[in-house]
Structure formats: structure tokens, C-alpha cells
Structure 1
Amino acid sequence: MAAPVAAILGMNRNFVPDLPRLYPHVDARGWYGDNQKLIEESAFRNSSLQAGYLLIAARMLGLDSNPMSGFDAEKLDADFFAGTSVSVNFITTLGHGDRSTAYPRGPRLSFEEACRLA
């Protein structure tokens, strides 16, 4: 609650009409048609990637982040994105953490446990 910034990372579920402007080298609208499942998956995946870039940039600037899920997405969407095609992907706080209360980095799987080369 003491973080100076809380960011809501959203995804536009109606991005297909914007593709000619955002992806001008080919008309990608036909890739999606009316396939709502593909549109939802793409909105989620691409917004997650873009949000990841934000977190990397924040950390490069010396900021700490605390990405979170487990919130009431419907309530958040109603409060911040009502009347739009945007919905929340996840939220994060940004600021300078208190090193005396921060947990150490958690354990990670080894490369061999997490990856398979084919």
C-alpha cells in the first residue's frame, strides 16, 4: 500500500480494427476474422509481453515491482475500463522496496528442469 505507483496492465479485446495502423506492412485482420478465441488469446499474450517489457524497463531504472493477480478483475474493469474494450491483465506496484523487509529471491528451476531442446 506504500508503493508510489500502482499500474493496471490491460488488454484491448478489440485490437483487430487497429491492426492496419499498428501492423502496417500486411493486412493482418484476416488472420483473426471472427475467431474470438484467437483474438482473446492474442490480446492476453501480447499484453503480457508488453507488460513484461514495462517491468524490465522499470527494473533497469532501479525500481522494484510486484506483479499481482488474485484481484476482482470484473470490479477493476468496471471501475477503470467501463465502456471500453479494454480489460485488466494484471496489476503491479512500482517503487523502491524496503530491503529490510523484502524476501530474498525465491528458488528457481534449473535450465534442464524448465527447458527441453528439440
Structure 2
Amino acid sequence: MPDTLSDDALDRLFRTARSYNAYLDEPVSDAQLRAIWNLMKWGPTSANQLPARFVWVRSDEAKARLADCVSENNKAKILSAPVTAIIGMDLDFPEHLPRLFPHTDARSWFAGNEPLIHASAFRNSTLQGAYLILAARAVGLDSGAMSGFDNDAVDAAFFPDTRIRSNFIVTLGRGDPASIFDRLPRPDFEDYNKIV
């Protein structure tokens, strides 16, 4: 079994990491966004489906378009974050399976089965969005995931004329410690788990 990560690494990824509501005035570079991708792309998805598609919202114009699609209490978060990632799910992901999962005809599993396509795209793009959060933490950035937005409006603004649908969004940057709440409770293992 591989060695456990150091306590410092576990703290950064999980124990002391927080969801931020505001960020320090520090840019997020293309190199940092690429570093996030180059880590998160290795996270597992069913049959290597990789259905997530990402839009990295950084320009003032794009931030304003996205802010028009979110709930009132999320507008300032979008406008002030250095970058917001829109995690979309490509409902045409089966077309890529001959390249991504070449040892069997995985594309045929989905032919004509829109409910299965949607369920698989949603499940696996959600996983990929979680990997994005962990990868951002691993490269020294903070994040704030949110679902308070109008999916149809985001899709029209950022995924027009495609079969990509928005799943959730994540702000990224160096978090402002003044923007976080007190640490919320986390249950003990016995509260939510059983071993059978």
C-alpha cells in the first residue's frame, strides 16, 4: 500500500481547506489553470468517459455575463473572483469513447439511451468538478463551489449550439480569510456510516 500523504498535504486538501466567498486581489494565471487540468484529468470516471467541459471565466465581460445568470447573493462572488470555472457536461461524450476507451465498443452502450447518457454525464462531470477543487487546492488556490444559478441561462451564454449542459460552478483564487464562516460541523464516522 502506498504511504499516506503528509499531514500538511491532507490538511491542504481536506482538513483545513475551506470554501471561500471572496478572494484576495491576486490573478490566477493560465499556467495555474493548466496545472489544475493536468492534475484533475487523471481522476477516474466510468469507462474513462471524461464528460466534463470547462469554461474558465476570467475577463470582465465574461464575468458580467455569468453574474447575470446567478442568484443575487452569488453575483459579487462571481464579479470579484479572479476566475470562475463553469463545469459543463457534454451529452455527446459517447462520441469520444472510441479514443478514450478503445478496448471495447463503449459508444454502443449509450446508443439511443438519453437517460443513461444524462445520468452518466451528470455523475462523472460531478466527479471531475470535485477533482478540480482538489487539484486547485493542490496547486495552492482556494475555491468556492456553487449551484445558485440558472442553468438554462448559463447554457445559452456559454454553451450555445452544443449538447453541453452546465452542472455547477466554482470560483477560484487566493481566498480572503475574512470571507469564510466559522467551521461547520462534520459528523463522526458512526453517525453516517455502517460497515456490513
Q: Structure 1-normalised TM-score?
A: 0.92
Percent identical pairs in the alignment equals 52
Alpha-carbon shift at residue 117 of structure 1 (Å): 2.0
Q: What runs of 5+ residues in structure 2 fail to find an aligned partner?
A: 1-78
Alpha-carbon shift at residue 30 of structure 1 (Å): 2.4
**Candidates 88, 108, 129, aligned match of 1:51:** 129
Q: What runs of 5+ residues in structure 1 fail to find an aligned partner?
A: none
**How many residues in Structure 1 have an aligned counterpart in Structure 2?**
118
Q: Please give the alpha-carbon distance, in whole angstroms, between the structure 1 residues aligned to 2:171 and 2:185.
A: 22
Q: Which moved more, 1:101-110 or 1:36-45?
A: 101-110
Alpha-carbon shift at residue 82 of structure 1 (Å): 0.6
**Candidates 176, 189, 193, aligned match of 1:98:** 176
Greater share of helix: 2
Q: Please give the alpha-carbon distance, in whole angstroms, between the structure 2 residues aligned to 1:101 and 1:76.
A: 25
**Relative contact order (C-alpha < 8 Å, sep 6+): which is higher?**
1
Q: Structure 2-normalised TM-score?
A: 0.57
Equivalent residue, structure 2, for 1:67: 145
2:86 counterpart of 1:8: yes
Q: Please give the alpha-carbon distance, in whole angstroms, between the structure 2 residues aligned to 1:114 and 1:48.
A: 22
Q: Please give the alpha-carbon distance, in whole angstroms, between the structure 2 residues aligned to 1:102 and 1:86.
A: 32
**Candidates 164, 172, 176, aligned match of 1:86:** 164
RMSD of aligned C-alpha atoms?
1.3
